[in-house]
Chains A and B, each alone.
Chain A
Amino acid sequence: MAKHNIGYFFREGMSNMFSHGFMSFAAIGITVACLLIMGTFSLVAVNADAQLKTLESENEVLAFVNEDYTEDQAKGLQSELENLSNVASVQYISKEDAMASFQAQYPDEQMFQNNLKPEIFRDRYAVHLKDLHLTKETVAALKDVEGIDDVNAYEEISNGFITVRNIATVVCVALILILFVVSIFIISNTIKLTTFDRREEIAIMRMVGATNGFIRWPFVYEGFMLGLLGAVISFFLQWALYEAVARGVATNDTLQLIHIVSFEQLWVPVAAVFGGTGILIGVGGSLSAIRKFLKA
């Protein structure tokens, strides 16, 4: 592309965009809506994933040692437990520590504070897992270790989190695909109007020997600008929406446990994905619209 044509293509693209103000507005609007819905679901998925990773890192399975084992024998199981696959770390908890921890949970219960003896607790290991998906297999492996009597795992809870994340991901991907196609369709139709308006001009350009590339560029610019404008608007709306939701969660007592990833950590990928998707939608739509005019 010759340098002196870039300004021309840009001006033509802008002129095309303004000549169909309403359709351009609709195309930008649908792009904003699509990106916003896509972005919101993606950010929900990102936060759910971050939440799960936190839970995974905190997730512990309690492996109770046989009551007949002495403290030394119980401590001797540590290396064997550490060597099991999917075990991130193990921490030995003596009967005394277990009792102290229990009492700490009920500081106002005098009965627990005064009448308990360490012997009613068992030595145990807090086992941290690498991957929650493999909880069932790891629990079975722990139970197979000689000296481990029982394993207390919160499989249902971890499976629940996995289900939530999987559903969020599937919904997100499905929505992205549907909205992507809808956006391309709308932008393509907007640009089809422009190409229809300029069909005579296109025919003359072809007749005088303009290459398909030359004819295509103004429409590509138009699609590019529609997509980019949609992306910029949706980015700032997404930012405002995200901050509002984050503030809402932070000030709500019942949602205190949920940790929202700050937008400062996310704005670069969000801007890149919005910009890339907007441009892809715009350029894809314009190429699809102009295709039939360029058949020789």
Chain B
Amino acid sequence: MIRLTDVEMEYENGTDAIRGITLNIADGEFVFLVGPSGSGKSTIINLLTGELIPSAGRIMVNGFAVSTISGKQLPLMRRTLGVIFQDFRLIEKKTVYDNLSFVMRAVGASPKEIRKRIPYVLELVGLKDKALCHPTELSGGEQQRVAIARALVNNPTTIIADEPTGNLDPDRSLELMRLLIRINELGATVVIVTHEKELVNRFEKRVVTIDGGKIISDQIGGYVGGTIHG
């Protein structure tokens, strides 16, 4: 569960990125977070992952009070999240398998658990045959699916995707979105930051629109207001 209560974020340069946002996302929900550039979407992602500490307000993520979290608790909170980035952020010198095994190892998984889990996750994202490939040998869509597999491999309760389709063509974007919906159906909470208007409208999911650091709409299916700019 994600809960933001009266959250404000002011950067050191005086920019008010978030101005009193209150937002609840229940376990198992699928939510699009949309808004124009500079609206505060990325700041919210950084607040949820503990990269930023809010200037005011309270943030709860999967039972952890992120706004006041200690250095020792932060890694434990992050293990409940799987984060996907627009630029994939795969390690090029590692194979697909190693890209996944190293994040499992990082949270203390045993070699036996790693051997068991990775084939399952690769099958889930349709890349079972690409385990020994390096990321540079894969297409953009395949690389993003590796990134999704990496986000899933530690079995997080929440997936946060920051512009996951930004580097993909429309077909691959749709395919990826269906994959994320399937992951959601398997029980994970999914939060997607995007500005792909057509993609958002294609699914009857909850859409939270942010502008100027505030929530301007929160509804099922589509968004209100003007065009969403990247």
Contacts and interface: CB of A to CB of B under 8 A. Distances in A.
A214 B76 CA distance: 13
A200 B105 contact: no
Contacts of B150: 204, 208
Nearest to B74: A296
B49 interface: yes
Interface string A1-42: 010110010000000000000000000000000000000000
B110 A209 contact: no
Given A201-B91, A296-B74, A207 B83 contact: yes
Contacts of A200: 89, 91
Nearest to B71: A296
B78 interface: yes
Contacts of B81: 209
A210 B109 CA distance: 11
A207 B107 contact: no
Contacts of A212: 71, 75
B226 to A, nearest CB: 33
A212 B78 CA distance: 13
A293 to B, nearest CB: 14
Interface string B100-123: 001101111011000000000000
B78 A207 contact: yes
Contact of A209 (B71, B89, B106, B111): B106
A272 interface: no
A258 interface: no
Given A200-B91, A204-B89, A209 B83 contact: no
Contacts of A215: 106
Given A4-B110, A4-B111, A208 B78 contact: yes
Interface in B80-110: 80-83, 89, 91, 102-103, 105-108, 110
Contacts of A207: 49, 78, 83
Contact of A208 (B91, B106, B110, B111): B106
Contacts of A210: 75, 103, 106-107
Given A4-B110, A214-B106, A296-B50, A209 B79 contact: yes
Contacts of B106: 205, 208-210, 214-215
Given A2-B108, A4-B111, A209 B77 contact: yes
A196 to B, nearest CB: 15
B91 A204 contact: yes
Contacts of B105: 5, 8
A208 B154 contact: yes
Contacts of B103: 204-205, 208, 210
B91 A209 contact: no
A211 B79 CA distance: 10
Contact of B76 (A2, A4, A201, A209): A209
Interface string A200-236: 1101111111111011000000000000000000000
A19 to B, nearest CB: 9
A209 B49 contact: no
B79 A208 contact: yes
A33 B74 CA distance: 42
A209 B105 CA distance: 11
A208 B107 contact: yes
A206 B79 CA distance: 10
Interface of B: 49-50, 71, 74-83, 89, 91, 102-103, 105-108, 110-111, 150, 154
Given A2-B110, A209-B106, A210-B75, 11 more contacts: A203-B89, A206-B78, A207-B49, A208-B79, A208-B82, A209-B79, A209-B107, A210-B103, A211-B75, A212-B75, A296-B71
Please provide the 7 A-B residue pairs with the shortest distance between their CB atoms, ordered closest to farther.
A209-B79, A210-B106, A209-B78, A209-B75, A208-B103, A205-B106, A211-B75
24 contacts: A4-B110, A4-B111, A5-B108, A201-B91, A203-B89, A204-B150, A205-B102, A206-B75, A208-B79, A208-B83, A208-B107, A208-B154, A209-B77, A209-B78, A209-B79, A209-B81, A209-B107, A210-B106, A211-B75, A212-B71, A212-B75, A215-B106, A296-B50, A296-B71
